[in-house]
A and B are shown apart, each in its own frame.
Chain A
Amino acid sequence: MTLSDQILATLCKIAPDVDPTSVDRARPLVDQLDLDSIDYLTFLAALGKEHTVAIREVDIPKLRTIDDLTHYIESHR
């Protein structure tokens, strides 16, 4: 499983109503999937824990897509 797939799997745990096959990994997740701020924070927190990456407060606005998150985790772990 690629890192991108793992991130998607984490998202589907936080938002079990999301169909993983429908997710465009290059499009912002919040608008694409109608995630609310609690969903997104819980998702980022879960990613930080699973990949032992400390996601900084200032970086959050830049982490909008699965691709953004993949690059961020790859370069910070």
Chain B
Amino acid sequence: MREIRMPSLGADMDAGTLLEWKVAVGDKVARGDVVGLVETEKATMELESFADGIVDALLVELGAKVPVGTVLARLRDAGETALAAPVTAPAPPVTAPVPPVTAPAPPARVLPPVPGPPPPALVRSSPAARKRARELGVSLTGVSGTGPHGAIVLRDVVPPAPRAAPPAPRAPTSMRQAIALAMSRSKREIPHFYLAHTISMKHALAWLTEVNSTRTIQHRILPGALLLRAVAVALRDFPELNGFYIDDEFRPSEEVHLATAISLRTGGLIAPAILDADEKPVDQLMEELQDLVVRARGGHLKSSELTSATITVTSLGDRGCETVFPVIAPPQVAIVGFGAVLERPWVEGTAVVPHPTVVATLAADHRVCDGHRGGLFLATLDRLLQEPAKL
């Protein structure tokens, strides 16, 4: 038997709400398949299966908010016998604030079993009813179904009764609270050091102009994708910047899962990861970056993209300022920042000439490495960007 658990989006996430199952008991699923939809304080994400198998049981009812690590579903192998009843009681829905996380472990932490009340019966409901319930912000728990076998259908889902008092108008959003928690923890626990290095983008931009001149707009590469590629390649020689600090020790990661910060116009930001970024050429990074941004805006990110980042890149873009001093997202140990690409005076031989330049910054965890290695990392990034065709 294998289990699908409530994933953690990081240090700041304690619980999530199950919005929808996309599979039913008896369905065959493969590793990476989307099996459900989970809502967290920062985003709605698609829940992926981390194993192959047959859905043996769905253990949490729709609309329930449960702690990170709670078993949501159980999978069995093709040869295994189905269990007649759930073997573990689902964790009770969260009713009070969950104690602060002290030692999160990506991608998902396993909490000890929480003794709970008898498992609630699964709520049968139609997709249209679930969609309507989400739109209205109501839970299907307690709704009497009038469909086949008591299933909740669209007509059963009605708007909630008006509240006596409106919510506090200046209460911070859950997104802002999630950012506040993560960043406060980062500043409290991680002894940051910061380095900055100005890099000429003359060769990189010239190469991009040449490459893009022969391409359609659908295949155009933006400087941001080239910067991501350079970071991913440079990290091969700097394992101390790529991984997690958990339980008082650094755990380097074999893979480079590069998160990229995306500012949301609805407020806040989210940083989904491009998985195995060091193994992907710049064209593929560009394609995946575009796909991530569109899905981040539409709320369709996958759990693996939101839970496995080993390092983050934040890029201010064309309209940003020249330098960013970023804050590490725990339990990661480093974050790389890029300011806007700007024309600056540059010494070339004996002349001062205008060059497009970018200020690359690194914030890193002093418990894991020192400024010397951080400086070498930024110098490597510089060297790679002077020969973009080799990236």
Interface residues of A (CB under 8 A from B): 14-18, 30, 33-34, 36-39, 41-42, 44-45, 48-49, 54-55, 57, 60
CB distance from B263 to the nearest CB of A (A): 7
Contact B218 A49 (CB under 8 A): yes
Q: Which residues of B contact A34 (CB under 8 A)?
A: 265
CB distance from A27 to the nearest CB of B (A): 15
Contact A36 B263 (CB under 8 A): yes
Contact A17 B218 (CB under 8 A): no
Chain B 203-233 interface mask (CB, 8 Å, partner A; 1/0): 0000000001100111010101000000000
Contact A37 B222 (CB under 8 A): yes
Contact B294 A41 (CB under 8 A): no
CB distance from B205 to the nearest CB of A (A): 13
Contact A16 B297 (CB under 8 A): yes
Q: Which residues of B contact A15 (CB under 8 A)?
A: 265, 297
Contact A33 B265 (CB under 8 A): yes
Please, which residue of chain B has its CB at the minimum distance from the CB of A38?
Answer: B293
Distance in angstroms between the alpha carbons of A60 and B289 in the assembled complex: 20
Between A16, A33, A36, A57, the greatest number of chain B beta carbons within 10 A of the residue's beta carbon is seen for: A36
Q: Which residues of A contact B213 (CB under 8 A)?
A: 57
Contact A17 B264 (CB under 8 A): yes
Please, which residue of chain B has its CB at the minimum distance from the CB of A33?
Answer: B265
Distance in angstroms between the alpha carbons of A44 and B264 in the assembled complex: 20
Contact A17 B266 (CB under 8 A): yes
Distance in angstroms between the alpha carbons of A67 and B218 in the assembled complex: 21
CB distance from A15 to the nearest CB of B (A): 6
Judge whether B237 is part of the interface by a CB distance below 8 angstroms. no
Judge whether B279 is part of the interface by a CB distance below 8 angstroms. no
